[in-house]
Amino acid sequence: MSRRDDLSPEDRRIWARVAGSAIPHKRRKPLLAVGVDAPAIVPKGPTSPSSKSRPFAAPVALPPPSKPPAPRTRGVPEELEPRRQRRLSRERDPIDARIDLHGYGRFQAQDALTAFLIGAQARGHGAVLVITGQGRRGGTGVIRASVHEWLTAPALRGVVSGFAPAARKHGGDGALYVAIRRA
């Protein structure tokens, strides 16, 4: 039985998240001796033009294969422009959907938020409201403190174009407007 079979489904989910966040090392290019000439080795024997024996040349170092073009990545989500934020707060631009993350644990909230935002993009929503809550006893809650990191993570760069704190009537410091990229 391998070590992976010993993991519970929760441990596998956490491991997949950790493994997905790892950044691979840059590979070094192989060292090639290009342009170095080795003496030709001439086989002994008949050297008539009709014979098939030819002098051996040094092996030719081929250039390294070119890298395939890097996938086009979207930039890190930025703050919403003030005009868009004002239109959302005054409800001139519609808030197409909302999610309330109260009662979730940190990892559950991240999974729920990721699934919600990907689904919102698939449904063609332009902006959503994410309610995180303010935390206990006036402090910053775990979800509220982590949501900025989640929204700027590589997994959501193709989904989120920007975000900003919500207006007081939409949750104030405990909520965010999130602008969704078009699919």
Note the pLDDT of residue 138: 62
Note the pLDDT of residue 34: 52
Q: What are phi and psi of 128, to 5 degrees?
A: -130, 165
Per DSSP, what are the bridge partners of residue 180?
A: 160
Distance CA 108, CA 133 (A): 15
**Which of 83-87, 105-109, 128-132 comes out lowest in average pLDDT?**
83-87
What is the pTM (predicted TM-score) of this model?
0.57
| Strand 127-131, strand 175-180: pairing | antiparallel
- Over range 72-96, report the average pLDDT: 77
Residue 175 in this model has a pLDDT that exceeds 70: yes
